[in-house]
Amino acid sequence: MSNTQTNNIYPIFDRMMGREDKETLLKQRSVMVWFTGLSGSGKSTIAIALERELHQRGLLCRILDGDNIRSGINNNLGFSAEDRVENIRRIAEVSKLFIDTGVITIAAFISPNNELREMASSIIGKENFLEIYVNTPIEECERRDVKGLYAKARKGEIKDFTGVSAPFEAPEHPALSLDTSVLSLEESVNKLLELILPKVGA
């Protein structure tokens, strides 16, 4: 092989396509929308409605929540303090991959303390991280109790249940706070769109 051939190792193709390349292809900028709040506060309901609205505007999104994470990539994790940290760490790492692919990423997890959410933000990148606090009072969350979890927690059948037998730390500086006992679903989504659309270039 000649020197010319050995030195010409396709320099244009020597790196993976970057985030900007993907965002250009998708005609959008990616961002992390991280919902936090008590069980029953409305996180997943709002996340699903937000995804639908963004999709209708031609924006590609991916929702991550307990259903698709705990049944898949995190199906070997329990609910110990260590496993809860690892759960959020893996979610953040997966989210970072989506963000780097230009996809608007929506996560809906209790993530009950500032340390966990700070870890997620650091992994994903603070400049990409929008913390949304679904600030629905526990009385309303418990009244809904769609899955019967609060009732079981009150009976002691579920240990370390956030809001009952384990604490929840409210975010100190959320990008947006939503109380679904006051706001309708449509009002909540509209507030989110006002925040998100300018950031994703829509």
Record the tokens describing residue 26, joined without a space.
């998708």
**Cβ proximity of 57 and 202 under 8 Å:** yes
Give the active site residue among 95, 111, 121, 188: 111
- Active-site residue 177, yes or no? no
In a 10 Å sphere around its CB, with 0-12 CB exposed, 13-18 middle and 19+ buried, how is residue 160 labelled?
A: middle
Residues in the annotated binding site? 37-44
- Pick out the residues of the known binding site for ATP: 37-44
Known catalytic residues are 111
